[in-house]
Chains A and B, each alone.
Chain A
Amino acid sequence: MDANALKQALQQRFGELAWQYSESRRGERRLVIPAGQLLSYLEFLRSDCGFDALLDITCVDYLHYRGAKDRFGLVYLLGTSTSGERLVLRCYLNEPNLKIASAVPLWEGANWLEREVFDMFGIAFEGHPDLRRVLLPEEFAGFPLRKDYPLRGRGERHNFERISRNQS
């Protein structure tokens, strides 16, 4: 689907003001959408626009990013199963409302990808069947990929109980 057809389809379905379409100088297509409507956008793009493959879900913490208005940017990379076409879907979340609909009903593969975002950024995916930490221990308290989490230093090990030789 070329850019104009995509824009037209989006306009018919969601109106004109809700979304923003842009293309980078490298020709990467980007679509910024309201976070509340994520699922309906994903469903529409998957069934009507041919973006049937979800490649990745990730998140960016814009805390120290110069000129950024929102705290978290969620990134959904969509592709097709037949060609190399790509679309980068983005929406923004702000504290304290770090919740968004889960994409698991549409793509099974979103399961672990969303768990990783939850693990690293603390964003809750509503409707996720099994939202637990995936890489870090369940007792872990912080969200390491947030920008206010330091690279090194004290803190991360305090979660674990110290066991002396006599106790073990």
Chain B
Amino acid sequence: MPSRSPQNSNEDQSMLLKRQLCLGIAVALGVAAAPAWAETLQVTIDKLVFSPAVINARAGDTIEWINKDILAHTATVKGGWDVMIPAGKSARLVLDKVESADYYCRFHPNMKGKVTVAGP
């Protein structure tokens, strides 16, 4: 399995194990395997910085922004999704389509991030 991003490469092995386990359970229960593969990728917002700035995901994964600032932010793609992330709260988005999207904060356009979503 290719590394998803430098941030979670160390977790790949255990993640792989978890995924196999999930897949096993999914197969045993006779449900579709795809959702069991999905994981949640976290992006922390601190002092107006998305970290990590670049996220590599697979379709079906969820991205969760954790806002540590005292300000509300958004994760917005021009002509695409627009996620409100209230001050001190978190917000999630299911990445359901294959895309490579540059996103920014509508309130502070100097905040920028990128999400690349590969096939499931």
Q: Do A and B come from one complex?
A: no
